[in-house]
Amino acid sequence: MSFNPSNITINVPFNFQYTLSSTEYQNTIGSHTNGFFYVSIIKDGTQINLGNGTNIQTNYSDINVNYQSNQPLNFVNRSYNIPGTYVFNLWFNIGAPDYYQFSVYETTISISPTACFNEGTKILCLNKNFEEEYIPIEYLKKGDLVKSYKHGYRKIDLIGKKIMINNPDRFNECMYKILKTHNNELTEDLIMTGSHSILVNDLGNLEKENNRLLNTRRSQKIDDKYLLLTAMLKDAIKLENTNLYTYYNFILENNGDDNERFGIWANGILTETPPKNMFIKYFPEQN
């Protein structure tokens, strides 16, 4: 049995689409009267339980009645965005009289962690009355004006939203709460992923460990400020749970350089936005 891998597309969040050609369809059906396609996903060596309604089984007896040439068959559409290495397998399960299955197609993709704001984070913007106002991130939209560090008010170019399962075992998959104190500029507590950075004047004795976690030899900067990971902050508390969190991030219109990034204010503290090149990897559906 031969299938053409070029007909398969996989995106993040997981959207596994396979288009069966007329020849493949006829060869697959053959003399069998029952069977189905299905998708299995293995994350870091462990099978993911897709749950009812997400591991969609398509009986080819139904396809036999309704199938049209090159009609896409969507097998999985689930908004997981948990960092790790995923192996996707498209299987074909033969029923009577032979009863066997074989892998039609296999591929591996990696999802890197992203730096994001928890739902409810307030971003300093210029509102419709041309007044500065902290607006909840979930209310922001493309074109809204956000106050940037050293670059004036800039329009939101793209904004993304996803859901994650909190993982306290990995700083870059875990939410941290930065507590408002007399020593910082927070207007209220701020919850972000551990891989999100605030902007500071000096890294001090945190530089070496901060750079190790960022996987860089040289300290990263936006304008004249250094990036310091939330997970490194003494005022930040790791949220020790496995709850679901809705998170957001956005990018501002740049000056023609998709690696450009900006400082913005969230709940009163100066923090980062990602470059466009990074953003579209985590939120490809927004591109």
Q: Which of 96, 111, 126 is the last residue of a domain?
A: 111
Supply 206's token pair: 């945190």
Instruction: Find where tokens 């493309």 sit.
Output: 142
Backbone angles phi, psi at 205, to 5 degrees: -80, 5
Instruction: State pLDDT tens for residues 229-279.
Output: 999 999 999 999 988 888 999 999 999 999 999 999 999 999 999 999 888
* 155 and 171 inside one domain: yes
Q: Which of 111, 137, 171 is the last residue of a domain?
A: 111
Closest CA to 236 of 165, 167, 186: 186
Residue 40 clears pLDDT 60, i.e. is over it: yes
Count, residues in the chain: 287
Residues forming beta bridges with residue 109, ordered by sequence position? 86
Alpha-carbon distances of 81 from 3, 29, 279, rounded to whole Å: 28, 35, 13
The pTM of the whole model exceeds 0.95: no
* 84 and 134 inside one domain: no
| Whether the Cβ atoms of residue 1 and residue 60 lie closer than 8 Å to each other | no
Element (H, E) at 87: strand 84-94
* 227 and 281 inside one domain: yes
Q: Going along 115-179, which residue ranges are E strands?
A: 117-118, 122-126, 132-136, 145-147, 153-165, 175-178
CATH number assigned to the domain comprising residue 100: 2.60.40
Q: Which of 111, 127, 143 is the last residue of a domain?
A: 111
CATH number assigned to the domain comprising residue 221: 2.170.16.10
* 128 and 200 inside one domain: yes
Instruction: State pLDDT tens for residues 4-16.
Output: 444 444 444 444 4
| Comparison of pLDDT for 52 and 92, the residue scoring more | 92
Backbone angles phi, psi at 29, to 5 degrees: -60, -50
Supply 144's token pair: 């809204």
Instruction: State pLDDT tens for residues 140-168.
Output: 999 999 999 999 999 999 999 888 878 89
pLDDT for 199:
97
* 81 and 162 inside one domain: no
| Whether the Cβ atoms of residue 73 and residue 17 lie closer than 8 Å to each other | yes
The SS3 of residue 172 is helix
Of the pLDDT bands very low, low, confident and very high (cuts 50, 70, 90), residue 37 is: low
Supply the range of the domain harboring residue 9.
5-111
* 100 and 206 inside one domain: no
As a whole number of angstroms, the distance between CA 142 and CA 250 comes to: 9
Running DSSP on this structure, what letter comes out for residue 148?
A: B
* 196 and 243 inside one domain: yes
* 68 and 139 inside one domain: no
Q: Long-range contacts of range 137-143, CB-CB < 8 Å, 24 or more positions apart? A: 137/248, 137/250, 137/266, 138/246, 138/248, 140/248, 140/250
| Whether the Cβ atoms of residue 146 and residue 270 lie closer than 8 Å to each other | no
* 149 and 77 inside one domain: no
Instruction: Say how many domains are in the chain.
Output: 2
* 95 Cα distance to chain centroid: 37
* 61 and 94 inside one domain: yes
| Whether the Cβ atoms of residue 33 and residue 61 lie closer than 8 Å to each other | yes
* 128 and 84 inside one domain: no
Instruction: State pLDDT tens for residues 179-232.
Output: 999 989 999 999 999 999 999 999 999 999 999 888 788 899 999 999 999 999
* 75 and 173 inside one domain: no
| Whether the Cβ atoms of residue 54 and residue 75 lie closer than 8 Å to each other | no
Residue type, 267: N
